């Protein structure tokens, strides 16, 4: 009798969801959209700031790992798109304390024959889509504070997309708490 229920139980667990209380950083900025990062944008907190420029998407998110506050920057470059990160000092306020950092490189992630192939692209280097996939992913993560924080404000970020300079200003991440539905299999 129990053996008959195992496939049903397995199907239930693979499609099941749980409710989780979590802290997250809610982003906001003029000219950007706010999206959910979890499960292809379908569930969870609105914790990702997305700028869309034709065939390039720039995603920013603040997260806390091991008691440290981190900024993640990711580019998704579609066919014929190009992006370059110019040499710049990124100035930001973390809980009203001014700090800054500079980017040295971004890492491209690509799966080939089941293996994850990475390649670093130095600042000023053109990042483009050279694969047959929908898009190439380039990313980097930075520690912006050695402890947890409540508010992160980025004054401006410059990025060159398809040869055009874009200046993204007044990016704000504010810590919030909420209860969200998360699937077990996503």
pLDDT digits (tens, 9 = 90+) for 129-149: 877 678 899 999 999 999 999
Proportion of the chain above pLDDT 90, given as a percent: 66
Query: pLDDT for 149-181, tens place per residue?
Result: 999 999 999 999 999 999 999 999 999 998 877
The answer for residues whose C-beta is within 8 angstroms of residue 9's C-beta and 6 or more apart is none
Q: What is the pLDDT of residue 45?
A: 85
The confidence band for 44, taking pLDDT boundaries of 50, 70 and 90, is confident
Position 116 pLDDT exceeds 60: yes
Averaged pLDDT of the chain: 87
DSSP state of 13: H
Position 1 pLDDT exceeds 60: no
Higher pLDDT, 10 or 67: 67
Higher pLDDT, 100 or 130: 100
Position 11 pLDDT exceeds 70: no
Question: What is the mean pLDDT of the segment spanning 7-20?
Answer: 61
Q: Whole-angstrom Cα distance, residue 136 to residue 119?
A: 12
The confidence band for 186, taking pLDDT boundaries of 50, 70 and 90, is low
| Long-range pairs, 71-75, Cβ under 8 A, ≥24 | 71/141, 71/142, 71/144, 71/152, 71/154, 72/139, 72/140, 72/141, 72/142, 73/103, 73/106, 73/139, 73/140, 73/141, 73/142, 74/137, 74/138, 74/139, 75/106, 75/127, 75/137, 75/138, 75/139
Cβ contact 106:138 at 8 Å: yes
Cβ contact 1:8 at 8 Å: no
Query: Please, is 138 exposed, middle or buried when counting C-beta atoms within 10 Å of its C-beta (0-12, 13-18, 19+)?
Result: buried
The answer for residues whose C-beta is within 8 angstroms of residue 179's C-beta and 6 or more apart is 19, 20, 21, 22
């Amino acid at each position: 009798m129990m053996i008959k229920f195992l496939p049903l139980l397995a199907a239930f667990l693979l499609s099941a969801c749980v409710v989780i209380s979590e802290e997250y950083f809610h982003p906001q900025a003029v000219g950007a959209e706010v999206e959910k990062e979890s499960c292809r944008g379908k569930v969870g907190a609105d914790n990702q700031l997305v700028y869309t420029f034709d065939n390039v998407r720039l995603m920013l998110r603040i997260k806390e790992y091991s008691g440290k506050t981190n900024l993640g920057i990711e580019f998704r470059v579609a066919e014929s798109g190009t992006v370059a990160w110019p040499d710049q000092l990124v100035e930001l306020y973390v809980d009203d304390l001014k700090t800054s950092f500079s980017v040295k490189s971004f890492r491209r992630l690509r799966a080939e024959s089941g293996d994850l192939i990475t390649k670093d692209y130095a600042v000023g280097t053109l990042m483009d889509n050279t694969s047959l996939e929908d898009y190439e992913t380039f990313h980097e993560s930075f520690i912006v504070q050695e402890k947890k924080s409540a508010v992160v404000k980025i004054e401006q970020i410059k990025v060159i997309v398809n040869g055009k300079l874009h200046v993204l200003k007044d990016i704000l991440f504010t810590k919030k708490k909420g209860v969200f539905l998360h699937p077990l299999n996503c």
